[in-house]
Amino acid sequence: MITREKEPPNLEMPFGALESFVTPTELFYVRCHFPIPKINEREWRLKVEGKVGRPFELTLDELREMPAHTILATLECAGNSRVFLVPKVKGVQWELGAVGNAEWTGVRLRDVLERAQISDNAHEIIFEGADNGTIAELPRPAGKVNFARSVPVEKAMDDVLLAFAMNGEPLAGAHGFPLRAVVPGWYGMASVKWLHRLIVTDQPFNGYYQSIDYAYWKRDENGPVLVPLAEMQVKAEIARPGNNEVISANSKYDVRGAAWTAAAVVTKVEISCDGGKSWSEATLNGDATENAWRLWEFEWKARAPGNYTLMARATDSRGRVQSMERNADAGTYMISHCLPIEVEAR
Amino acid sequence: MITREKEPPNLEMPFGALESFVTPTELFYVRCHFPIPKINEREWRLKVEGKVGRPFELTLDELREMPAHTILATLECAGNSRVFLVPKVKGVQWELGAVGNAEWTGVRLRDVLERAQISDNAHEIIFEGADNGTIAELPRPAGKVNFARSVPVEKAMDDVLLAFAMNGEPLAGAHGFPLRAVVPGWYGMASVKWLHRLIVTDQPFNGYYQSIDYAYWKRDENGPVLVPLAEMQVKAEIARPGNNEVISANSKYDVRGAAWTAAAVVTKVEISCDGGKSWSEATLNGDATENAWRLWEFEWKARAPGNYTLMARATDSRGRVQSMERNADAGTYMISHCLPIEVEAR
């Protein structure tokens, strides 16, 4: 793993190590905003509160006794590929590996919410993590802040999972032990780790990590408005060759990578070896699973020595095509345009 | 006037010059985010649009032909007194004079909105100014942004004025010619200058100047949430003596100042000459007018040579008392706690 920040740990998969559809847990990226909370499994509770008819708490054993479900979901950090932005912007300087695809096991959020009898006016469900700390830079609330994000009730009742296991093992501390949300199709910040509180609210939640952080500018008829980040954009990444790799001219090279989208499946990946002038279709591996990435490969031969700019471009079943241009309203997030990988053939 | 920024002009009244209940226009503070727009009076229109049954435009002559109303309203910049914050925070370093009380003449926003037939679902009215420019620091929308703020429909239908005159004269360029909003009781940023568009919306408006700028952290049961600044806090300011002024020991000194609040009147101003240990009531001048400040005075004699810390503390008819403590959740705004004025008696 590449260490992007030592403490709290922010670790990136070296994306050239991409081999398998399911990312091994030890290669799955770690994003922490605060030190990993030390949680005593027996004392921990999931509190369900707010606009509910019946607030209650669940122990980990009680959660494990509920009907369990296993899903595949790709999580990408909203700041993944930030190192490609020129000029450089603030935030962890992720390259390509703040993304992974795992098998998550837990209970459906819907099942928990139905038991709580949520209000007819419920608008969003807030996920609060046990992780907290102070934020230095203004504007920020005073004192300690817990990491928290929300999803609309419709999403909560659809496919959100409260996961206690990852790839068949109990969650590791860095991945949210004992419980995390998994919000399929959304950037990773929504899949709150160390989950300890579900708050049902009848208002749009405007917490720090939905406004100052993890938000972007959406344009409507009223001008640009600040909106929390949500769904992942359609995106393909090249795992091999790596940026600045030296390859052999006139030899076959197996270009490989992954592509993902939200609430859809990837239907096409195209590769350009000339900086976007011409494109050829890559081969998609395996079957398509909604909200899980697809691996792809493409056989390429650099016909002559020289420098080449490789790019991958994904299209999804909703007809969305990965953009060649950076969205300037996305600030330091959603780096989903086609990323140039420079190689030299000798 | 004290120049806080040369271009665009940001000018402050030297608060020691406070003499009259109505602030002379040439002493009224000027806050500009972008260069003052050059507006051709004959080409200018006020557009009324969004969730309305009948969108329309008004010329300045048409506005002047509508029933006119004159109100008194105190406007305070939300960053007024920022220079008192330790450690220093970003923003224009206002001292005490980014506040003024003027007589505003124009048409009621209600009269304009009734003509537009606003939707039953209308939630807020957005005021868009003609002033615009690019914002350097992330997070910010790309390209040019117009200054814009909103008020809830209830406030819009209550007492908001669309003013074309200030203190009996047409608005000066620096004060929003040809038209500005005047939102009584709210911090100055809501009283949008160079107004050219009213947009009725059924959503909470989350533009730049309601979220990244001009917002604070409100605490509720869901934790701190980012909320647009709105009503002014109850506040008294000392105009004389000035900070670090040298006065005569054992002589009478006429301590003077102003105090204001929102949707209420100031009922009491107390003065401390010992840094907040003991307090005495000041004399309130004139009658109380809602949303206009009240001037006050207090006769003081420094009994011995030495250093004294003066403070003023206001109470309003809603029972709110000016705080001794800075609200740490207010970020770089709402500097409304009791401010220490240091003087030396010789």
B127 in contact with A, Cβ within 8 Å: no
CA distances from A68 to A161, B152, B198 (A): 10, 45, 52
**Cα distance from B333 to chain A (closest Cα, Å)?**
10
Contacts of A224 in chain B (CB under 8 A): 141, 145, 207-208
B126 and B211 fall within a common domain:
yes
Which ipTM score applies to this complex?
0.92
B126 in contact with A, Cβ within 8 Å: yes
A175 and A285 fall within a common domain:
no
Of B141, B211, B328, the CB nearest to A329: B141
B218 and B95 fall within a common domain:
yes
Interatomic CA distance for residues A171 and A286, integer angstroms: 27
A213 and A248 fall within a common domain:
no
Task: Please identify, among A165, A193, A228, the residue that sits at the C-terminal boundary of a domain.
Answer: A228
The count of domains in chain A is 2
- Could you tell me the pTM of the whole model? 0.94
B219 and B258 fall within a common domain:
no
Question: What is the mean predicted confidence (pLDDT) over B36-59?
Answer: 97
CATH number at residue A18: 3.90.420.10
With CB atoms and an 8 Å threshold, state whether B138 touches A332: yes
Q: By the 8 A CB rule, do A163 and A135 touch?
A: no
Task: Please identify, among B177, B203, B228, the residue that sits at the C-terminal boundary of a domain.
Answer: B228
| Tokens found for residue B183 | 């939102």
Give A258-290 pLDDT, tens digit per residue.
999 999 999 999 999 999 999 999 999 999 999
A109 and A255 fall within a common domain:
no
| Tokens found for residue A18 | 């991409």
Residue whose C-alpha is closest to residue B226's, from B248, B211, B204, B240: B211
Beta bridge partner(s), residue B193: none
Give A170-223 pLDDT, tens digit per residue.
999 999 999 999 999 999 999 999 999 999 999 999 999 999 999 999 998 888
B144 in contact with A, Cβ within 8 Å: no
Interatomic CA distance for residues B264 and A207, integer angstroms: 30
Give A139-162 pLDDT, tens digit per residue.
999 999 999 999 999 999 999 999
B147 and B240 fall within a common domain:
no
A222 in contact with B, Cβ within 8 Å: yes
Question: What is the mean predicted confidence (pLDDT) over B109-124?
Answer: 97
CATH number at residue B315: 2.60.40.650
B143 and B77 fall within a common domain:
yes
pLDDT band per the 50, 70, 90 thresholds, residue B222: confident
Question: What is the mean predicted confidence (pLDDT) over A227-245?
Answer: 98
A212 and A259 fall within a common domain:
no
Give Cβ neighbours of residue B65 (< 8 Å, ≥ 6 apart). Answer: none
With CB atoms and an 8 Å threshold, state whether A212 touches B329: no
Omega of the bond prior to B170 within 30 degrees of 0, cis?
Answer: no
Give A69-104 pLDDT, tens digit per residue.
999 999 999 999 999 999 999 999 999 999 999 999
A211 in contact with B, Cβ within 8 Å: yes
Residue of B47, B90, B206, B213 to mutate when probing chain A, most A C-beta within 10 A: B206
B297 and B164 fall within a common domain:
no
Of B143, B201, B223, the CB nearest to A222: B201
Q: By the 8 A CB rule, do A211 and A73 touch?
A: no
What pLDDT, on the 0 to 100 scale, is given for residue A111?
Answer: 98
B211 and B109 fall within a common domain:
yes
Residue of A48, A225, A333 to mutate when probing chain B, most B C-beta within 10 A: A225
Tell me which residue range forms the domain holding B7: 2-228
A36 and A170 fall within a common domain:
yes
Task: Please identify, among B202, B228, B254, the residue that sits at the C-terminal boundary of a domain.
Answer: B228
